[in-house]
Amino acid sequence: MAATSGKLRPPFRLLLLLLAAAVARSVDGVELTLLTGAREKGAVCLDGSPPGYHLQRGFGSGEHSWFIHLQGGAWCNTIEDCSKRKMSAYGSSKFMRAVEFNGILSNDQQLNSDFYNWNRVFIRYCDGASFSGDGEAQDQDGSTLHFRGLRIWEAVINELMGKGLATAKQAILSGCSAGGLAALLHCNDFYARFSKEVSAKCLPDAGFFLDIEDLSGERHMWSVFNGTVHLQVVKDKKDWGLFIDSCFTHCQTPFDISWNSQASPVLGNKTVAEAIGDWYFERSYEVKEIDCEYPEIDHPVHHPPRTCSVHTRAAATGEMPILPRRRYAEPLLLLLLAAVARSTAAAPDVVELILLTGAQEKGAVCLDGSPPGYHLQRGFGSGEHSWLIYLEGGAWCDTIESCSNRKTTELGSSKLMEAQEFEGILSNNQTVNSDFYNWNKVFIRYCDGASFSGNAEAQDQDGSTLHFRGLRIWQAVLDELMEKGLASAKQALLSGCSAGGLATLLHCNDFHARFPKEVSAKCLPDAGIFLDILCSSEDLSGKRLMWSVFNGTVQLQNVSEVLPKDCLAKKDRTECFLATELVKSITAPTLIVNSAYDSWQIRDTLAPVGSYPGQSWLNCTNDIGNCNSTQMEVLNGFRKKFVDGVKVVKDKKDWGLFIDSCFMHCQTKYSISWSSQFSPVLGNMTIAKAVGDWYFERSKTVKEIDCDSKLRSPVLPRRRLAEPFLLLLLLLLLAAVARPTAAADVVELTLLAGAQEKGAVCLDGSPPGYHLQRGFGSGEHSWLVFLEGGAWCNSIESCSRRKMGVYGSSKFMKAAEFNGILSNDQQLNSDFYNWNKVAIRYCDGASFSGDAEAQDKDGSTLHFRGLRIWEAVVDELMGKGLATAKQAILSGCSAGGLAALLHCNDFHARFPKEVSAKCLPDAGFFLDVEDLSGERHMWSVFNGTVHLQNVREVLSKDCLTKKDPTECFFPAELVKSITAPTLILNSAYDSWQMDPFLDSHGPVAKLTFGIAVPHKSKNKFVDDVEIVKDKKDWGLFIDSCFTHCQTPFNISWSSQASPVLGSKTVAEAVGDWYFERSYEVKEIDCEYPCNPTCSSQLPT
């Protein structure tokens, strides 16, 4: 398939939309509840631990409705299999954690309209026999294996009956995969527990396993379990339903993407969610849909187009899979969608942090003096005496100022460290990590800033001590691990990524020397080869950037003790810190994994922003497909220097090389690059296979260096991509799913002090909250205040429902991730990363503007105190330093964007004239337009809100003398009275406003409205902001992307997928406007679909 130029094809725009939604959408984790009296009832997991479940209470009309979902996860059918299984979350509650409720379990009304407010229960699967066994056996180590699935089912259901299930008026039993089979096994028992008037039904998902021969003639499923019901018997059963699609997928109810989204399969004009709702609530005469044969796509005209989002085709056909409501894409999309869905069953284990004991006494402390930490997951079975030690990476600090900044992050203080997901080489998934899955695995956290090598201290700018004790951390943590079993290891591997890869080289000989000769102790540095000379002895600005960083680190932190003595006798210490010198003195067997086109070095040291004029190199390093021939010559020069630097390894016995040509950095710690269809392949080996063959000596040599490049970003060896956009998408996927070192900070909730006394409370009367992350360095006296959005409540009924969730009560609020404009990642958020950043939570339902109260249906009080919340929280922040701000921005998204307009003048008035206080409403410009039926939907919502919650006090007095309060609540009127400098950021085709606008008349309207209606809405938008064009110090960034809210998400704020207007991303435009780097920033996009940088487009 030929790539198109200029525009991205609809399938890829949609896929990025789904990816952005998956990344951006925050889902609360529901905590685990352990079964009471489990051992007395004999209802225990394989290892004897009590089973568990996750319960989220229903509310409103769903208070007496229950949804029970049984977890899946295959089976164990031998003592050996069950023994392995009991060491995981599928055999022991000891490994279980909170889970996210998605798909049919979601409490998002838009996503899950029929069941969002039901009592929802997710029962964990830890018996290995679909909740059906009742026996026990002796394990290989003499302990007991408990096969008590049937007792678990009975005991958990009995406990739930006591918690309200017994009084249910509606009930569904569901499950996925092995849980879907369990839903069939227990369906009659579940149904019999209720009286006849209760609507109790069963919904097995992906639980229909067939007894068929595989390609070798074996009946695989028969060998796992005997007897499967044939599908055809279902069709004649009254009150039964069928939704049998031909999509290449497994489990569709628990994932948002397949349950109810633009990627959900459609049969009979219904998504999975719509079909199940129609069947359960009997809105249709019957729901018995069986799809046409795969891969038929030529439907009659009156049928909807094929909607399977994941397909495969026989290799002989040469055809591509089909995306929702669109034709061809690439097989690559199959895994992209699968990766976004992130099956709960296959989620990586989360391993808790362990702090080093006696750290202060040993002088082994982080930059701020806190104890260092590590994460340990015990090995089992054949891996009980094998150890993998992995050193975290994260660049370096080479000055007092940079180390001072670093100590306020998790890379300088254990106070900010959290539990870690173990993926890639650290995964305990045998499929992903077949050679090392059952080893003891340790992830040592990096908090010294010198690759675990320094031994010094210095005075910080505030008079406190900066501790440069990386070497002591290495020694003390290794000593502690030796006591925990590492000393008796029979196999050991030291690895690390980036700065941790360099640390692996620095400590490789010491690690190897800790074991007897008969122990196989080896080293695996990943992305740890950093070059001094970049192609022409310097980077594009004429500087040796890596030399400068390393020189500062070496001198400041005193790393001489870890450097090779023979090198120090001949060369400068900084040169001896370079990997190309270190490899010469390492005697332990080592395999170097690296890209010859390392993305971090190319972007940050070869062509850093500011080292060249114009945008040509930025375009090249953001997407290698944009590089011209001269730039490719420079990049290939980088590769040559890299290959020359590791040539010494070719002659080293027992050493290995895996040097690919992918534009990547760090490949061992992420499952997607470690061992998947996306993993680079050299010599017919993925990274995982190459490392395993080298370590276990299954191959004579593993020394692979990829050819120089027809380089793409990233390159997938032996695969062609249909469009360059897919390359970008994979980068985004790696960023979003793999969770790189620069993960978003999680900021704890602070509740407002004295809220009740001030009358500043949420809808339910609980105190409001906010998240504050302190600024540092040059941003110490700069403040960004961000108002959360989340629609409105405009009736007693809607506000009553709202108070039962995070948008009406702080009881449900949790810590929040800071992304986008709130990120502290300098590369992502260069203008505001070190500011004081505050996210104020939204719990009043009227854009922080109401001041009233009303009686709820149950007799309690509904508190409409948004205005008091705004005033009280900002007053508290003034006392915490906002009053002395030298720079300040008020922002917000959606309903929070409207709030930023409502309170802009008040915010600006709180500061002296010399303070640069400005406003940035994002997606807050809501239009008063008629929908397809002629109704004014937004007017109706706003009118109810304005009158119910009494918002007059925040409205323009001038407007109120002439117009209705509801009209004055619209941004088109608000902007007329705002005097503070303001930049309006919005899409002219705002997806939130378009969806209800089109949805009000269903799928027919969506298929027939054409493009004229959105253009009419866009023209109305442009007319409403016309007044801004003449306002001095104001700005506009009005793109034509089908999206809503762009500042709080990395993907839209500043990434390769950010909309671009006037050659600026959203982040660049906001920075140029605020800091007045441009004469003006007033950009209004052309009409859809003219802008090729829009990754989110209108549905067709």
DSSP 185-244: HTHHHHHHTS-TTSEEEEEEES--------TTS--HHHHH-S----GGGGTTSTT--EEE
Query: Is 606 domain-assigned?
Result: yes
User: Is the model more confident about 1048 or about 619?
Assistant: 1048
Asked if residue 312 and residue 452 are part of one domain, the reply reads no
Last residue of a domain, one of 696, 711, 726: 711
CA-CA distance, 710 to 597, in Å (whole number)? 12
- Both 357 and 342 in one domain: the answer is no
Quick check: 308 and 248 in contact, CB under 8 A?
A: yes
Decide if 254 contacts 104 (C-beta within 8 A). yes
**Which alpha helices (DSSP H) does 303-459 contain, by range?**
332-341, 359-362, 400-406
**Residues written for the chain:** 1100
Beta bridge partner(s), residue 682? 685
In a shared domain, residues 324 and 441: no
pLDDT-wise least confident of 468-482, 730-744, 839-853, 915-929: 730-744
Determine which helix (DSSP H) or strand (DSSP E) holds 266, and give its type and residue range: strand 266-267
Instruction: Yes or no: say if 930 and 999 are a contact pair by the CB < 8 Å rule.
Output: no
Contacts of 875 (CB under 8 A, 6+ apart): none
Asked if 701 and 809 sit in the same domain, the reply is no
Whole-number pLDDT of residue 676: 85
Q: Are strands 440-444 and 386-391 parallel, antiparallel or unpaired?
A: parallel
Q: Does 722 map to a domain?
A: no
Its pTM stands at: 0.46
CA torsion angle 246 247 250 254 (round to 10)? -110
**How far apart are the two ends of the chain, measured CA to CA in Å?**
22
Does residue 346 carry a pLDDT above 60? no
C-beta of residue 442 within 8 angstroms of C-beta of residue 388: yes
Q: Say how far apart CA 832 and CA 820 lie, in whole Å.
A: 10
Reduced to 3 states, what is the DSSP secondary structure of residue 1099? coil
Q: Is residue 802 part of a domain?
A: yes
pLDDT at 753: 95
Q: Amino acid letter at 399?
A: T
Q: Give the span between the Cα atoms of 454 and 475, in whole angstroms.
A: 12
Confidence of residue 932 (pLDDT cuts 50, 70, 90): low
Q: Do residue 835 and residue 917 come from a single domain?
A: yes
Highest-scoring range by mean pLDDT, 247-261, 327-341, 539-553, 1025-1039: 1025-1039
Q: Are 368 and 412 in contact (CB under 8 A)?
A: yes
Q: By the 8 A CB rule, do 929 and 1022 touch?
A: no
Residue 906 falls in the annotated catalytic set: no
Locus of tokens 């500061």? 911
Among 871, 870, 900, 872, smallest CA distance to 888 is for 900
Binned at pLDDT 50, 70 and 90, residue 857 comes out as confident
Say whether 98 sits in a helix, a strand or coil: coil
Residue with tokens 């004649």: 236
Q: What six digits make up the tokens of 311?
A: 């397909």
Q: Which of 603, 738, 598, 739 is nearest to 665 (CA)?
A: 598
Average pLDDT over every residue of 59-74: 92
Residue 895 has pLDDT above 60, yes or no: yes
Alpha helices (H) along 558-615:
565-568, 573-576, 579-585, 599-601
Could you tell me if 74 and 201 lie in one domain? yes
Weakest-pLDDT range from 31-40, 65-74, 1024-1033, 1037-1046: 1024-1033
**Cα 334 to Cα 355: distance, rounded to the nearest angstrom:** 41
Residue 599 has what pLDDT? 86
pLDDT of residue 502: 98
User: 255 with 263: CB under 8 angstroms?
Assistant: no
Question: Which position has the token pair 């409001």?
Answer: 768
Please tell me the distance from the alpha carbon of residue 211 to that of residue 218, in angstroms, as a whole number: 10
**pLDDT score recorded for residue 183:** 93
376 and 283 housed in the same domain: no
CA distances from 222 to 80, 225, 226, 228 (A): 19, 5, 5, 9
Residue of 88, 177, 495, 498 marked active site: 498
Please provide residue 417's backbone torsions phi and psi, each rounded to the nearest 5 degrees.
-80, 150
Task: Tell me the mean pLDDT in the region 71-87.
Answer: 85
pLDDT digits (tens, 9 = 90+) for 347-386: 678 899 999 999 999 999 999 999 999 999 999 999 999 9
Separation of alpha carbons 822 and 838, rounded Å:
8
C-alpha count within 13 angstroms, C-beta hemisphere, residue 85 = 24
CA atoms within 13 A on the CB side of 16: 29
pLDDT in tens, 558-604: 999 999 999 999 999 999 999 999 999 999 999 999 998 888 888 88
Residue 313 predicted with pLDDT over 80: no
Mark which of 316, 346, 376 sits at the end of a domain: 346
Same domain, 812 and 827: yes
Tally of CB atoms within 10 A around 278: 18
Say how many CA atoms lie within 13 Å of 105 toward its Cβ. Answer: 28
- Residue 978, pLDDT above cutoff 60: yes
Same domain, 162 and 68: yes
Q: Where do the H-state alpha helices sit in 890-964?
A: 895-902, 904-909, 937-949, 957-960
CA 343 to chain centre: 13
Question: Which residue has better confidence, 18 or 853?
Answer: 853
What pLDDT, on a 0 to 100 scale, did the predictor assign at position 602? 85
Q: Which residue has the tokens 């052309």?
A: 1086
For the segment 791-811, the average pLDDT, to the nearest whole number, is 93
Q: Which two tokens stand for residue 159?
A: 């406990």
Residue 977 has pLDDT above 90, yes or no: yes
Helix, strand or coil, per DSSP, at residue 513 = helix
The whole-number average pLDDT for the span 182-203 is 92
Give per-residue pLDDT as tens, 466-492: 999 999 999 999 999 999 999 999 999
Spot the catalytic one: 665, 863, 903, 908: 665
Catalytic residue among 245, 598, 990, 1039: 598
pLDDT of residue 514: 97
CA-nearest of 506, 630, 726 to 12 is 726
Q: Is 498 a catalytic residue?
A: yes
Q: What is the mean pLDDT of the chain?
A: 83
Final residue before a domain boundary, out of 665, 687, 711: 711
CATH number of the domain within which 588 lies: 3.40.50
The DSSP line for 705-719 is EPPP----TT--TT-
Bridge partners for 919 per DSSP:
890, 982
Query: Which stretch of 247-261, 325-339, 624-638, 700-714 has the lowest confidence by average pLDDT?
Result: 325-339
What is the rounded distance in angstroms from the CA atom of residue 549 to the CA atom of residue 912?
40
Predicted pLDDT of residue 274: 82
Residue 1031: the pLDDT is: 87
For residue 885, tell me if it sits in a domain: yes
Q: Which two tokens stand for residue 1036?
A: 């506009």
Number of domains comprising the chain: 3
Query: Is residue 233 scored above 70 in pLDDT?
Result: no
Let me know if residue 79 belongs to a domain: yes
Do 336 and 374 fall into the same domain? no
- What letter does residue 5 receive in the DSSP assignment? S
Please report the pLDDT score of residue 285 as a whole number.
67
Q: Does residue 309 or residue 698 have the better pLDDT?
A: 698
Q: Report the amino acid identity of residue 279.
A: W
Concatenated DSSP letters of 1071-1083: HHHHTT-SS--EE
Q: Which domain holds residue 302?
A: 10-346
Residue (of 1096, 1100, 1069) closest to 992 by Cα position: 1096
Residue 1029 lies in a domain: yes
Residues 384, 280 within the same domain = no
**Region of poorest pLDDT, from 134-148, 310-324, 938-952:** 310-324
Q: Is residue 156 part of a domain?
A: yes
Q: How many CA atoms lie within 13 A of 481 on its CB side?
A: 31
State yes or no: pLDDT of 499 exceeds 70. Answer: yes
| H/E element, 983 | strand 983-987
859 within a domain of the structure (yes/no): yes
Pairing label, strands 836-840, 983-987? unpaired
Residue 811's CATH number: 3.40.50.1820
* Rounded Cα distance, 822 and 810, in Å: 21
Average pLDDT over residues 747-761: 95
Residue 308 has pLDDT above 60, yes or no: no
Residues 6+ apart with CB under 8 A from 1007: none
Same-domain status, 342 and 363: no
**What pLDDT, in 10s, does the model give residues 90-129?**
999 988 888 889 889 988 887 888 999 999 999 999 998 9
- 543: buried, middle or exposed (CB in 10 Å: 19+, 13-18, 0-12)? middle
| Single-letter amino acid, residue 911 | F
pLDDT at 801 over 80: yes
